[in-house]
Amino acid sequence: MTTIKHRFMRTNGIQLHIAEAGQGPLVLLLHGWPESSYAWRHQLAALAAAGYHAVAPDVRGYGQSDKPAPVEAYRMSVLLDDFTGLLDALGEKSAVVVGHDWGATMAWTCAALRPERFRAVVGLGVPHLGRAPIPPTQLFRSMFGERWFYVLYFQEPGVAEAEFEADVPKTMRAILGGDALDPTAAAHRAKRPGDGLLTGIDVPASLPPWLTEDDFAHDTRELEASGFRGGLNRYRNMDRDWEELPELATARIEQPALFIVGERDPGRSLAPIDSMKALVPNLQEVQVVPGAGHWVQQERPAEVNAAILGFLRALPA
């Protein structure tokens, strides 16, 4: 049985907690919101067994990693320095980067702006969209008008944190097992200004079949200890990233790339896959996992592991 090891590493002036397994070429796994390195538990073992060194950090602000206070400490340019610094600390010149949710956006950006360090990229759930024509919050307001949208709700520091941290198990049941993040859901469309993410949401009494009680307890404990602020600060830097990284408008990802998405991922209604093909000319495959939702690598680990390993084995030596 593969042993997943844990340690802390210094990078870019902070300390990151990493989970790792195996030896061989480096594969860096970046989680999304509101998760941690634990989201990759199924992939760490599979990658190690296949002859890779799999490393999953708790991204700054999450889990056991450092959580700087300033909102701007979570902008994308700083995160890129975290990850390239982590490669340096591991003694590696390059890695394949794999990301899910916000981690996918980080992974695509790593590949686009640091191609000398990231030789291939896998995105899960969120395609590479480059740079919006206007700042993202303006774009969302133009799309949703007066309708409620969770990304806009997350912008005011302290508001979402207070809601989520009042009852972390309830919050996580609604996010992981319900439709709290689905903008097409009736409960989402019925929200009004001043409502919270959980307003009007039916919180499922039972967990989804892919999430055990032990897994859920682990996720809940981590968020009760860390709070939600660090992760939410990523959303609060979207406009700052737009200002700071104009090169994303034209930067092409020339490295080999793979995109995996759940068939039932609600994000598909917001982020059309076809629009990324011009910016990712070496996109090897788009794999839609039948019946899966947003948490695809946890919901369908066998299918996701097979896709990632097939992609890795086909890379140039």
User: Of the candidates 230, 217, 213, which has an alpha carbon nearest to the alpha carbon of residue 75?
Assistant: 230
Asked if 101 is an active-site residue, the reply is yes
% helix / strand / coil in the chain, to the nearest 5? Answer: 40, 15, 40
Q: CA 308 to CA 289: how far, in whole Å?
A: 13
Q: CA 283 to CA 285: how far, in whole Å?
A: 6
Q: CA 265 to CA 188: how far, in whole Å?
A: 15
Asked if 294 is an active-site residue, the reply is yes
User: Of the candidates 128, 45, 33, 38, which has an alpha carbon nearest to the alpha carbon of residue 308?
Assistant: 45
> Which one of 31, 53, 100, 294 is the catalytic residue?
294
> Which one of 101, 179, 182, 219 is the catalytic residue?
101
The answer to whether the beta carbons of residues 140 and 152 sit under 8 Å apart is yes
The Cα-based distances of 165 to 35, 40, 173, 202, 207 in angstroms read 15, 24, 13, 18, 19
- 95 bridge partner residues: 118
Active site (catalytic) residues: 101, 294
